[in-house]
Amino acid sequence: MRRSWIILVLVLAVVRCTNPFSVRSPEPPTTGQNIGFNLQANPDSLLSKIALAFVNSNAESYIECFAEDGFSYLPSPNEANRFGDWDLLSEKRYFEQLVLGVEDVTFSRTAEPSRLLETPSSAELSFRYSIAVKSTSKTERYQGESLLRMDQAGSGFWHITSWQDFSAEGSDSTWSTLRANYR
């Protein structure tokens, strides 16, 4: 009797199994979005990579968006006195302090970028932004407009070589204010 049950279970298992040697479909990742697949192949994907660096609080991915040599930052006029020689290391420190020191940071472009200049290996884009920084006691809001100069490196990746920040109408707190507050 016991032997017939075992045979019955084996027969049912073989009948139910369509292909015992097939590979199952992969499951989607359970962690945050993978920035590694969002390479800096063009100016738009570079801006997307910056946004994803905020979502994932990933300083390394953020800093990869900038040119290693010759990066320059020009703050908004109302914050110029808070900046000395801002360089790539300053940019990295600010972003690390920001993502480690607050509960949540939300970055968004409030309009599609305006293309001011575009060649096969360089571009100038202007875009309006809004950033909300949530800490345990309050939420700070920063708004303004950024002008980015981007160049394509020999590797084919695009990098930001120059960043200029401007105040938005009715707002004194810009990305420059955010950088100065978290450097």
Per-residue model confidence (pLDDT) at position 52: 93
Return mean pLDDT, the chain: 87
Residue type, 40: Q
Q: Which whole number is the average pLDDT over 6-34?
A: 63
Neighbours of 175 (CB within 10 A): 24
Please tell me the distance from the alpha carbon of residue 169 to that of residue 149, in angstroms, as a whole number: 23
Q: Place 50 in a pLDDT band, splitting at 50, 70 and 90.
A: very high
Q: Which run of H or E residues covers position 112?
A: none
Per-residue model confidence (pLDDT) at position 35: 45
Residue type, 113: P
Question: For 3-12, 75-84, 88-97, 118-127, which range has the lowest pLDDT when averaged over its residues?
Answer: 3-12
Nearest in space to 173 (alpha carbons), one of 137, 136, 132? 132
DSSP designation for 130: E
Q: Which run of H or E residues covers position 61?
A: helix 59-63
Cβ-based burial of 112 (10 A; exposed 0-12, middle 13-18, buried ≥19): exposed
Q: Place 84 in a pLDDT band, splitting at 50, 70 and 90.
A: confident
**% pLDDT > 70, the chain:** 83
Q: Which whole number is the average pLDDT over 81-109?
A: 93
Q: Which distant-in-sequence residues (6+ apart) come within 8 Å of 11 by Cβ?
A: none
Is it the case that residue 25 has pLDDT exceeding 80?
no
CB 35 within 8 A of CB 58: yes
CB 133 within 8 A of CB 126: no
Q: Place 85 in a pLDDT band, splitting at 50, 70 and 90.
A: confident
Note the CATH number of domain 38-182.
3.10.450.50
Question: For 1-15, 84-98, 104-118, 142-156, which range has the lowest pLDDT when averaged over its residues?
Answer: 1-15
Please tell me the distance from the alpha carbon of residue 157 to that of residue 96, in angstroms, as a whole number: 23
The pTM score is 0.77
Is it the case that residue 13 has pLDDT exceeding 80?
no
Q: Which whole number is the average pLDDT over 121-144?
A: 95
CB 175 within 8 A of CB 147: no
Is it the case that residue 103 has pLDDT exceeding 50?
yes
CB 39 within 8 A of CB 61: no
Q: Which run of H or E residues covers position 105?
A: strand 104-109
Please tell me the distance from the alpha carbon of residue 51 to that of residue 28, in angstroms, as a whole number: 21
Q: Considering only residues 84 and 75, tell me which one the structure prediction assigns the higher pLDDT.
A: 75
